[in-house]
Amino acid sequence: MKTRPSSIIATCWLACLFCGTAVGQNADWPLPSGQAGGGHFSTATTITPENVSRLKVAWTHRSGDFRKGANFRDGLKSEDPLQSSWQATPILAGDNLVICTPFNRIIAVNAATGEQQWSYTPDINLDDYPMPRCRGVTQWQHPKNNSSLTCQTIIIAPLMNAKVIGLDARTGERCNFGAVAEINLREGLRPHAPGDYTLNTPPAILGNLIITGASVADNISTDVPSGVVRAYNLLTGQLTWDWEPIPPTRIADDQLSLADDALTKIAAEPASETQGGPYEPGTSNVWSYISIDEKLNRVYVPTGNTSPDYYGGHRAGSDFYSSSVVALEGNTGKVIWHYQTVHHDIWDFDVPSQPTLFDVTTEGGVVHGLAQTTKQGYVFLLDRTTGKPLFPVIEQPMPQGTVAGDYTAATQPVPSKPRSLLDLPGDQDEVWGLTFWDRKACAQVLEGLRYEGPFTPASLEGSLHMPSAFGGQNWGGPALDPKRNLLIVNTQHVGTVVQLLPREDCDADTGPAPVAHGPYLQEPSEGTPYCDRRWLGFVSPLGAPCSPPPWGTLAGIDLVTGEVQWQVPLGTSRDMAPFPFWYIKGSPNIGGPVTTASGLTFIAATTDRYVRAFATETGDELWKGRLPTTSHGLPITYELSNGEQYVVVAAGGHAALGTPPGDHLIAFKLKP
């Protein structure tokens, strides 16, 4: 960890409009997650549980930015590019909604009419990025308080080529950061392919700093770019601090309990103190949303697991900060505490979502909490000042015995409260099928796989990973209702198959026969003794999930008691299965919910083409609106000065789910 003197202490208060206390006080949506600390919450109250059934389409904007092509459900063809996937969430900047398309074009549309106001097309070679994507933009208010000044409100746009640019929120014209035209995150990294290091998620903002990680390609090699987290001063464009997720020079004895001898060796070596790089390759990265607590001057980052995902014999303790929530000091990047949700992660169970900050009043006083959803289906509730769990977390023994050269941690942390959202009430069969023959085929595949529960390590014969690297929960994150002390979480209940192949069997033309149905990826994982195959679904010959439904749920968690107050199926099998098999409740989902002060939860995310409204207190479905294709970002909601409240979703499909691509930005509002 390296630091540089910063003016953040003097200037933090100037961030007034978009980065903290003001966020969430108005019924608007200035940041991708609503607030700097996550939560996906709006104070809007015009749309209520009583009138939500009157929502109708108000306007639709189409950008034209989408691409048909191969997807994971229909089977990948090497000669076809992947279809586009739209995962973006718009923000409200003045009278405009601003969003990025799958091709990284930034567009602004009038929030009341959907009429396009401006667009900006970056100079990016899309051929360098097999699955182009952008999850959104953010905004920053320049401290010079002049409403007529150009570049007063600046859209901060992350680009796939690992650059950050600024655009005037009113006109879309480029804005410099002091004398710097753009921030280039490739500086300080060792040579790499463009697609190995990309920026998909908007940075966090603290005062005049942006804090950002980046997305590092999975399962390519041990030598992929560093997962360094960096803070830049927006007034100058200069690096203020950087933090590399590598072990500290000294590790407390109680943190060595799960480590092998190599960790002691690495811990004794001094950490690099070279600010600005060169950064150490192959470290855990921070690809999801970062949270900010301005009052505590804290930055909370969710880390991924160290590359590659399914073999860790080479890591020698370098995954000390992997799959963790890490609290950093805002003006220096110094580690305050970290909490690891998976030890020696060889499942791709990286922490996928924004740490969600909340405050609740209990018998013991006010608790400053942090909720972290995970791919394992666990929700960790922590004290965000100390990192300690609010409810006991038990280190439970887990399956042992992985491939030669690696090891499996003896135990994994399991929260006592809330219960796992993967564990549904009642008995669950191991396999399911649309027909008797379908189910029999699933059972035959499972007999040949290794499966001993959610922490079954990858194996030579092939292992069922249930949940999968998609979750459980994924990057969409939870929504918070601070009035009702509820955390709303969507969960996916499907598995994938992972197989490790010895290096000599990694030739795709001569390697062993597939061990499961459906298309799979074969990834090199260079630098290790194995490559891997990943089936992105544990599916039958008909393409239906082999796990029993529901394949998706939505749940409400009481943040005071830690109890799951309700859990209901989310979505249906419509648009995934042929008629008459539309009746199955609970569909695969990628995306997240939002909540409103009136007691509503809005969510799309599912493989059926709907956005839905639920009663936040009970989980009752109150309304659904049909979409032209699926939506896998967040819905947002806002009220304009005329009192009209809108619900907006970006519907563009997803290659991993095999849902059709599209370019529809759709707004709903109440009709008489």
Which of the residues are catalytic? 348
Structure tokens at 553: 């749920």
Q: Classify residue 457 by its DSSP letter.
A: P
Q: Is residue 174 exposed (0-12), middle (13-18) or buried (19+ Cβ within 10 Å)?
A: middle
Which residues lie below 8 Å from residue 173, measured CB to CB, with a gap of 6+?
150, 151, 167
Which spans in 249-370 are helix H? 261-268
Strand arrangement of the beta sheet that strand 298-302 belongs to: 291-293, 298-302, 324-329, 335-340
Phi, psi (rounded to 5 degrees) for 8:
-65, -35
Task: Name the β-bridge partners of 216.
Answer: 197
Pairwise CA distance, residues 63 & 109, whole Å: 10
What length is written for the chain? 672
Question: Do residues 11 and 207 touch, judged by C-beta distance below 8 A?
Answer: yes
Find, among 251, 312, 294, 262, the residue nearest to 530 by Cα. 312
**Residue 539 CB neighbours (<10 A):** 25
Instruction: Enter the tokens of residue 446.
Output: 């499972």
Beta strands in 181-302 (DSSP E): 183-184, 197-198, 204-206, 209-212, 215-216, 229-233, 239-243, 291-293, 298-302
Sign of the four-CA dihedral 175, 87, 294, 255: negative
Q: Are strands 41-42 and 593-596 parallel, antiparallel or unpaired?
A: parallel
What is the bridge-based pairing of β-strands 664-670 and 55-62? antiparallel
CA angle 656/657/659 to nearest 5° reads 115
42-64 as b/e: b if 16+ CB within 10 A: bbbebbbbeebeebeebbebebe
Tell the residue number behind the tokens 């599209």, with chain if given: 662
Which residue's structure tokens are 């294709």? Answer: 629
**CA 89 to CA 477: how far, in whole Å?**
13
Q: Is the peptide bond before 550 cis (omega within 30 degrees of 0)?
A: yes
CA distance 370 to 166: 30
Q: Are 611 and 602 in contact (CB under 8 A)?
A: yes
Q: Which of 110, 56, 113, 111 is nearest to 613 (CA)?
A: 56
Q: How many CB atoms lie within 10 A of CB 172?
A: 17
CA Rg value for the chain? 23
Cis peptide before 580 (omega within 30 of 0): yes
Please list the residues that pair with 383 across neighbouring strands. 369
C-alpha dihedral (373, 379, 384, 386), degrees to nearest 10: -130
Reduce the DSSP state of residue 573 to 3 states and report it. coil
In a 13 Å sphere around the CA of 47, the CA atoms on its Cβ side amount to 31
